Structure 1
Amino acid sequence: MNLAANFSMLASRRSLFGLSVCDCGWSSALAFLNDLACLPLGQTVVSFLNANNANLMIADGEYRQALSRHLVLPDGIGVDLASRVFHGAPFPANLNGTDFVPALLTYMTHSMRIGLVGARREVLERAAANLRAHAPWHEVVAISDGFFDKENSQEVVSEIERQGLDILIVGMGTPLQEKWVDAHIRPKHARLVLTVGAYFDFAAGVVPRAPSLVRRLRLEWAYRLLLEPRRLGRRYLIGIPLFLCNLLRYRFGRVSDMTVPLERPAMVPLPPLTDFDDGAAEIQAPKAAAGSGR
């Protein structure tokens, strides 16, 4: 993409619950983030907005502020519904982290040094091994599990800096991971940062993905609820009605959805790059890493 195309894509955003969410398809998103990761300076933090995260953001001002400084991608049927209500159409693509991370690593042809932080140590090591098998031209390093003292993060942050990363992937659960990245991770640590929730559990093969038909029907949330009812019951059985209430409150109440955060996503201006035809053939799904997901 050239400079104008990059900022054109950024300008095409939709406000959901007062947060700007990128309005782009797979091709544009992958090409754009690939370009950002190749820049010699600056940093972009990528987060994902789904129905559960929207509920948390509405109740947590610190989390909202962190997201306002990130590049936010749409994740799931809930935000598609919100987009229909507020803007009359769904998002062009469901850019959920479950599929987006392996697709991005496949798309990136230049070798990247990638660090992982989060999950249990054994899960993180398996996720790193599977990502190396999925995209062997990248270097993937398991840096730290997610169970360190978040009030005393200097050792982990110093190790991240020592590794000389291009990309940092953090999976410690929402909203902790976004707040932690916002507080501790700077451009010297990585040019591109992805906050990915439970992705490492999927990448390690600890938690299976839903069958493809279930995913096409946009019912992976129900499949996950069946697999982990105790952990996810509150998120879905209480969270879905709460999300619908929030949606109605913003749509018909006194809360305006058109409020756009004052701070733009944390990134630097792009130099001219080669043109990218967003109308090109759709990006093919990557070869399934042993359990890719979020």
Structure 2
Amino acid sequence: MSNTTTGWSDHDLIAARRTEFLGAPMHMLTMVETLSLATEAMIEKKPIHHTVINVAKLVNMRSNAELRQDVSEADLINVDGAGVVWGARLLGIRVPERVAGVDIMENLFRICAERGFKPFLLGAETHVLEAVQRRLGREYPGLVVAGARDGYFKPEEQESVVAAINASGADCLFVAMPTPRKERFLHRYRNALKPSFVMGVGGSFDVYGGKVSRAPKLVRAAGLEWLYRVVQEPHRLWRRYYDTNRAYARLLWSAYWSRDARN
């Protein structure tokens, strides 16, 4: 199977673009290339397990062996987070662009509507899921949503959730649960899930459904989307971002000066 955007096979493209930054694996792919890979996966019924790397996940992977395994063994790992883009470039890694999970999801909704693919929506609260489906109905009247289930299910219910996803005939699966829960779920059931393209989307349903607003484009371009989120939910997020950003700055500083010392 060839990728029409690059002329390479999907396997070769993914393998050739994989690298590591501060011990975290990631793929040097653009949004166009990523969407092409996802589309081909659904056309050819070839499974791809997708995830992303951001500052918080990169830091937490260093102390959470399960999370590191879950991320490292995914088929496709995009760079989601301006901090990772800038840090990698500082160390000489040519990241082409930030490829945010929420943007992948929104683009794939459009592709599903255009090509007749059916998404399954898993995660978030029931009222958020309903808001997501209402917006999809307005923007893509012809889109068929294979199924939807909130993210508040018990561990013993996981297999029945997987069975429902598989019975729905979904072509792709979006999992809107927090890290590391979504990574653990997708890693555990990746071989059992029938949708061809599966990805974790974190809080993207909250954004798409209007529960929280996304930062304006200028704020995103400045790499301050994390700060915008903290302002919206300070009590829940400030400590998490403070701890992970501080740890990341130390890692990056150490790696930068170690590189200079070697040179």
TM bracket (short chain)? 0.7 to 0.9
Alpha-carbon separation, structure 1, partners of 2:67 and 2:252: 19
Give the SS at the match of 2:169. Answer: coil
Q: 2:50 aligns with which of 33, 46, 58?
A: 46
What's the secondary structure of 1:21's corresponding residue? strand
Contact 2:162 2:193 in 1 (8 A): no
Deviation at 1:177, TM superposition (A): 0.2
1:8 shift after superposition: 4.4
Q: Which residue, 200, 205, 214 being the options, matches 2:205?
A: 200
1:7-18 map, 5 Å: 7-10=11-14, 11-18=16-23
Asked whether the equivalents of residues 117 and 146 of structure 1 are also in contact (C-alpha less than 8 Å), the reply is yes
Match of 1:139 in 2: 144
Other-structure match for 2:101: 97
TM-score (norm 1): 0.79
Show CA shifts across 1:224-277 (max 9, x none): 1111101111221221011112334455569xxxxxxxxxxxxxxxxxxxxxxx
- CA shift, 1:54, in A, is 0.6
- 8 A Cα contact 1:50 1:79, kept in partner: yes
2:234 partner amino acid: P
SS at structure 1 position matched to 2:179: coil
Q: In structure 1, how many angstroms separate the alpha carbons of the residues matched to 2:173 and 2:141?
A: 17
Alignment identity in percent?
Answer: 28
Q: CA RMSD for the aligned pairs?
A: 2.1
Letter aligned with residue 246 of structure 1:
L
Larger mean CA deviation between 222-231 and 241-250 belongs to: 241-250
Task: Sort the Cα spacing of 1:221 and 1:164 in 2 relative to 1 into closer, same or farther, 3 A.
Answer: same
Q: Provide the residue aligned with 1:261 in structure 2.
A: none
Question: Aligned to 1:153, what secondary structure does the other structure show?
Answer: helix
1:1-294 residue pairs with structure 2 within 5 A? 1-2=3-4, 4-10=8-14, 11-40=16-45, 42-70=46-74, 71-89=76-94, 91-108=95-112, 109-186=114-191, 188-251=193-256
Greater relative contact order (Cα < 8 A, sep 6+)? 1
1:135-191 deviation digits (Å, cap 9, x = unpaired) = 334312442111110244122122111111100100111111011111124355211
Counterpart CA distance in 1 for 2:83 and 2:246 is 11
Q: Does the aligned pair in 2 maintain the 1:171–1:196 contact within 8 Å? A: yes
Gaps of 5+ in 2: none
Equivalent residues of 2:123, 2:175 under 8 A apart: yes
Q: Are residues 185 and 8 of structure 1, via their aligned partners in 2, closer, same or farther at CA, if it must alter by over 3 Å?
A: closer
Quick one: which amino acid aligns to residue 58 of structure 2? A
CA distance in 1, matches of 2:96, 2:240: 25
Q: For 1:6, give the aligned amino acid.
A: D
TM-score, with structure 2 as normaliser: 0.87
Inter-partner Cα distance in structure 2 for 1:188 and 1:72 = 19
Q: Secondary structure at the match of 1:158?
A: helix
Distance 2:66 2:258 in 1: 23
Aligned residues: 252
Taking a change above 3 Å as real, the CA distance of residues 180 and 106 of structure 1, as seen in their structure-2 partners, is: same
Cα distance in 2 for partners of 1:16, 1:219 equals 21
Q: Deviations over 1:99-148 (max 9, x none)?
A: 22112332453111110110111111211222333333431244211111
CA distance in 1 between counterparts of 2:229 and 2:121 reads 23
